[in-house]
Chain A
Amino acid sequence: MTAALDALDAALEEPGNAAYAVGGAGAGKSAAARAVAEVAADRGFEPILVAPPSGAPDAGIAGVGTVVRRLGGGVSKRDGWDVACRKAHDGLAARAGDVVVVCDEPSSWLGGDRYFGARGAEAREILTGAGAAWPVVVCDRSGRKGRTFPLPDAQASELGEAGIWGPTASAALALLESGIAPVLRTPLQQRLAVALMAWGAESLPAFSEASPLAAALAAQLARRRHGAKLWEVWQRLALERLDADDDLLKALGADELDQLGSFTLRAVLLDGGHRLHDICRRVAEERPVDPDLRAQQKAATHELLFERHYAVFAQLAAADSAYSGDHAAEALFHATELGDGTRQHLVTVDLVDQLNALGHRRSVVHGDHLGAAAVFLRALQADDRNGYAIHHRGYALDALGESPGEVETRYEEAIELNSSRPEWHARRVAFFADFARPSAARAAWARAETAVPDDLDDPEWYESLNGAVAATLIEQGELAFARYVLDGVPEWARLDLHRRLDSALRGRTAAQDKGAFVPAPRSSRAWWAERPARLPARDGAGRLLERWLAGRVEEVGEEQIQIYVARVDPDGGEPRRGLMRLAPDVWDQHVLDDVVADELTPGRFIEIGSYAAEQGNVRAIVVLPVEPVDQPVPTLDPERWLRDAALAPTDG
């Protein structure tokens, strides 16, 4: 911890010039931040620990909110982000002599989309940047040159330290003796490796980085009867975004763990009692053993966490405590995760952008556009000039296929407020295209073109606008329009997405022009293979495959099935292409799958083989499975606007 305290000394000696305690994943940055805060308090300063939910879209926003609240100032929703930032800055500047700001890994505040990432960057700049006249200690992956204090690597010899390893001591010693220990450079790596061995693993992952170690530990726990309970607590704990305390651990079932489980939880996963490391959190999120059970556990845990934060919020709010806001935000987060509108309305937050972040998560992470629409509506009730909330309220309704009039108005309003967001323009154009209003789509595109900054040097801007719009238009079959949009991207900004969309567009255009064989430069992968994908080299009777054709079913009629076929040149030349017509009974006679002619649909890719037989060749057909193909850009399904088709009133 010396490095962190050195950083504190440096920060106090030179307020306005942040000092950094730096280390990689698992180096103990969060623990160091909390230790610094404690020492600062011991020295008579008021520590302001800024440790918002790591990696969350609202991290920067929550961080600023925390500071404002700690300083005793309130933020009203109408104030908006700019006012909150000013209050944080001015409040800290006024108390620069008696506060110490400690930031826990602000580089993790830049997550979420462009909007929230920008908020995180702004928060970091306000609290730790050039304009910060107060003492600041930042515990992060890197820091400003000349002001960094590296957290030390873990030493192999620490594995032999008596007493600190509790029930895992023998595993620690075994690791030390194995000679593997020197590659375990961070405390987290060491703890995970020891736990892994203590829980019965026979070896460590080849590269003993923290992430594979954590994954291996999770897998090991899930396999063992006594470990399963710990794995469950671990997964549930991963849903808590702030620090864990004893009450929380008890509520999550930690009391039911045996000695090894309890030690592993507290010493290994919680680093002695703070928050779950991001790596461990991610493993819990990405490796559910039973997705159904995991879903149930998640819902129950979010409910529990809501109740916990809500109770703390109510208690602190009654006491007029500045800390109540943090818990209100967390209670709202868990209510939103549950999609529980009633609970969401029990609490409020003091920054509209926190609602925006929750709406974003509801929409993007959970695909729950209904929930997102409600959250953004709530944000708009607090601030009806918040462009993000306006646009995303429209987008959520658009995704739902609801209230097209409001969608159109919201999209328009948001662009009136801020026309510099390429994705806002893109969604507006896509909405009109999906809504079968081609002229309006063109007008919206013309408007979007006027928003391109003169000095634009960011290729991502074009991907967000031209790329997204072109993807929708290609999907819609509006090929000429799509070509115009793609051609609007300057040469220097044509990156991979442009190439993929251009390829798809050329394929579609060629398909219309030639009207026949290969629909795209890259057709269904299996179909366009250079050799059989499913037909065996010999059939069940041992006959040799003599001739092979790739085919695609074009039409299925009562009297005949039309198939486009290609005979691939083994020497790599152009395939020979042709049209084959089969009577349905001939198809049924030769097909090896269950797909009889009556069930066949156009567009299916097939293989036709000819096996050498003594008397005439034997034909065989196999039908290739439909493969999912990645879209270059995810687009909303236009069918959302079809649902009410049958409800229109009848006239005559």
Chain B
Amino acid sequence: MPLPTDNQLAAAPLSIAVFGPGFGESIVLRAGTADGAEWAVVDSARRERENGATINPSLKLLEYCNAHPSLVVFTHPHEDHAGGMAHLVERAADGATVGSVEPLMSARTPLQTHRDPDDRRAQRRTEVRNAHIAISQAWAGRARKWALVADAQPFLLGGWQVSVLNPGAPELADAVANMEAGQKVRLNNLSAALLLERDAIRLVLAADCERAAWTKVASRLNPNHLRATRPVKVPHHGSKGAIHDVLIRYATLDAGRAQVVTPFPSSGALPRFEVDQGADRLLRAAGELLLTALPVDLLPRSDATTIDEVRNALTTEHFAGDTDFAIEDADPATTAALAAGARDPLETWVLLSIHLDGTVAVTRGGHAVRLVA
């Protein structure tokens, strides 16, 4: 069974299935209640199987569990979080709450696409636009609106309080002004990071927030507040630029803190595995790292994979005498398997089972890897 099973999902008061099928990220949450369970889904990611079928693993899981989420969240308008979002919104329960960063939903934003059918990015931007259309139409109809901003009213999922850490209202206002002035805006820094809390248990789904966003978050919070959270869905696919002391302090080892990374893009660009890059720093922060999708066929089969073993899967070639223009070889013969297309997207997940005593059990899909130093 490639997807997490019913039993696995029901084994803890809160189960979080992080899907990262090699391009994109989506998270399904199941909060057990006295009446059964409440479900939520954060972002959407889908990709093709080798047989040509489109797979949206989160949707598949919800269908498999006959679940209709009471909360759907779209953290930010980037294509790797948007693919198939319309299906998830459609899957939501009647009266569900749908959250999105509303000021980014206008057609005036960088969403505007030039409709070049040859441009892969144009297609993905289209998926963002579809997500926004689905959300705006849901708001106009059967869904409750949750405008994602740091001071928004929290949402209650089962016994868990879900609140918005980022973006703050001032940053959003600045961003909208900049967009309207035709300036570039880093949408990652406006992505909606979420904090889940129940009694003493706190955990973070950090979306794609990068350093500037965390600096703002730090200015709003006690700096130690988030470092105590566990587990963490690591921000921005484990990029070095997203690792900030307010959430992840790599100078000090906090052994056993579960960290989940969804690799992006499928060429293996994030996280980077070189010394002092993202994966290295995350290992220094917690001693291990859970990656939802790596080319397991290229790696030694074991419970844990070392970062050196992954490094060996990438080779680097330089133009003679010119390190500025180094080219990392991505020839299909050596690294094609790094592309997630060869993998089953239904196997690209990490399941976190969170118990009320704070313990976290981890289950992995067939293409997920536990990375160690």
Mark A residues whose CB is within 8 Å of B: 404, 434-439, 474-481, 483, 504, 507-509, 511-517, 519-520, 522-524, 547, 554-555, 557-559, 562, 564-565, 576-583, 586, 598-599, 601-603, 608, 610, 616-617, 619, 626-629, 631-632, 637-639, 641-646, 648-652
B147, CB-defined interface residue at 8 Å: yes
Whether B330 pairs with A516 at a CB distance below 8 angstroms is yes
How far does the Cβ of B237 sit from chain A's closest Cβ, in whole Å?
11
Which listed residue (B102, B111, B118, B129) contacts A523, Cβ 8 A?
Answer: B118
Contact in complex: A646, B120 (CB < 8 Å): no
The docked-state distance in angstroms from the alpha carbon of A481 to that of B55 is 11
Roughly how many angstroms separate A481 CA and B184 CA in the complex, as a whole number? 34
Residue of A nearest to B106 (CB): A646
B171 to chain A, nearest CB (A): 16
Tally B residues with Cβ within 8 Å of A.
79
On chain A, the residues within 8 Å of B23 by CB distance are: 512, 515
Determine if B48 is an interface residue (Cβ-Cβ < 8 Å): yes
B163-206 with Cβ < 8 A to chain A:
184, 186
CB < 8 Å neighbour of B133 from A564, A616, A641: A641
8 closest Cβ pairs, A-B complex: A515-B266, A513-B341, A436-B134, A519-B120, A645-B136, A480-B54, A648-B139, A436-B86
Interface residues of B (CB under 8 A from A): 22-23, 47-48, 50, 52-54, 83, 86-87, 89-90, 97, 102-103, 105-107, 111-124, 126-127, 129-137, 139-140, 144-147, 152-153, 184, 186, 210, 239-241, 265-267, 269, 317, 319, 321-322, 324-332, 336, 339-341
Most buried by B among A404, A515, A619, A650: A515
Query: Are A645's CB and B265's CB within 8 A?
Result: no
Given A512-B47, A639-B112; 10 other pairs, CB 8 A cutoff: A436-B90, A437-B137, A513-B341, A514-B336, A523-B118, A555-B269, A598-B184, A608-B325, A637-B115, A644-B136
Residue from A439, A507, A513, A583 in contact with B48 in the complex, judged by beta carbons closer than 8 Å: A513
CB-based nearest B residue for A507: B118
Q: Determine if B327 and A511 form an interchain contact, defined as CB atoms under 8 angstroms apart.
A: no
A565 to B136, CA, bound (A): 38
Contact A642:B325 (CB < 8 A) given known A439-B90, A512-B23, A610-B319: no
Q: Which residue of B lies closest to A646 (CB)?
A: B106
List the B side residues contacting A564 at CB < 8 Å. 267, 330
Query: CA separation between A404 and B137, bound complex, in Å?
Result: 10
Taken together as a complex, chains A and B put the C-alpha atoms of A515 and B268 apart, in Å, by: 10
Q: Are B146 and A603 in contact (CB under 8 A)?
A: no
The answer to whether B106 touches A645 (Cβ under 8 A) is yes
In Å, the complex CA distance between A218 and B122 comes to 42
Report how far A619 CA is from B320 CA in the complex, Å.
12
B153 contacts A652, C-beta separation under 8 Å? yes
Residue of B52, B126, B330 near A578 (CB, 8 A) is B330
Which partner residue on chain A sits nearest B53 by CB separation? A480
Contacts of B135 on A, CB cut-off 8 Å?
645
The number of residue pairs between A and B whose CB atoms lie closer than 8 Å in the complex comes to 218
> A515 to B341, alpha carbons, bound, how many Å?
8
Question: Is B52 in contact with A480, judged by CB distance below 8 angstroms?
Answer: yes
Contact of A438 among B47, B86, B132 (CB under 8 A): B86
Given the known inter-chain contacts A435-B137, A579-B327, please indicate yes or no for A520 contacting B145, CB distance below 8 A.
no
Q: Are A517 and B48 in contact (CB under 8 A)?
A: no
Say yes or no: A580 contacts B326, CB within 8 Å: yes
16 A/B residue pairs, CB under 8 Å, sorted by A: A436-B131, A437-B86, A438-B87, A477-B130, A513-B50, A516-B266, A577-B330, A579-B328, A602-B121, A617-B321, A627-B116, A629-B117, A631-B117, A642-B133, A644-B140, A651-B145
B17 to chain A, nearest CB (A): 21
Q: How far is the CA of A559 from the CA of B269 in the complex (A)?
A: 14
Please determine whether B241 and A515 come into contact, CB atoms closer than 8 angstroms: no
Verify B48–A436 contact, CB threshold 8 A. no
Q: Which of B117, B135, B321, B324 has the most CB of A within 10 A?
A: B117
Q: Which residue of A lies closest to B329 (CB)?
A: A578
A477 close to B83 (CB less than 8 A): yes
Given A641-B137, A646-B106, A652-B146, A617 contacting B117 (CB threshold 8 A): no
Which residue of chain A has the shortest Cβ distance to B327 in the bound complex? A578
Q: Is the CB of B136 within 8 A of A652?
A: no
B184 touches A599 (CB 8 A): yes
In the complex, chain B residues whose CB is within 8 Å of the CB of A649: 139, 145
- Known contacts A437-B86, A626-B114, A645-B132; is A515 also within 8 Å of B153 by CB? no
**Among B118, B126, B147, which residue has the most Cβ atoms of chain A within 10 A?**
B118
Task: Assess whether A586 is in contact with B267, with CB atoms less than 8 Å apart.
Answer: no
Do residues B184 and A477 form an inter-chain contact, with CB atoms below 8 A? no
With the chains together, A478 CA to B54 CA distance in Å? 8
Residues B331 and A578 in contact, CB atoms below 8 Å apart? yes
Q: Which residues of B contact A650 (CB under 8 A)?
A: 145, 147
Note all chain B residues with C-beta closer than 8 A to A557: 239, 241
How far is A628 from B122 in the complex, measured between Cα atoms in Å? 12
Q: Are B330 and A517 closer than 8 Å at their CB atoms? A: yes
- Considering the chains assembled together, what is the distance between the CA atoms of A367 and B71 in angstroms? 40
**Are B90 and A646 in contact, with the CB atoms below 8 A?**
no
Flag if A578 contacts B328 (CB, 8 Å): yes
Which of chain B's residues has its CB closest to A475's CB?
B126
CB of B271 to closest CB in A, whole Å: 13
Q: For the complex, give the distance between the alpha carbons of A434 and B134 in Å.
A: 9
Could you tell me the distance between the alpha carbons of A519 and B341 in the complex, rounded to whole angstroms?
14
**Interface contact B145-A579, CB-CB below 8 Å:** no
Chain A neighbourhood of B329, CB < 8 A:
578
Is A577 in contact with B331, judged by CB distance below 8 angstroms?
yes
Contacts of B146 in A (CB 8 A): 651-652
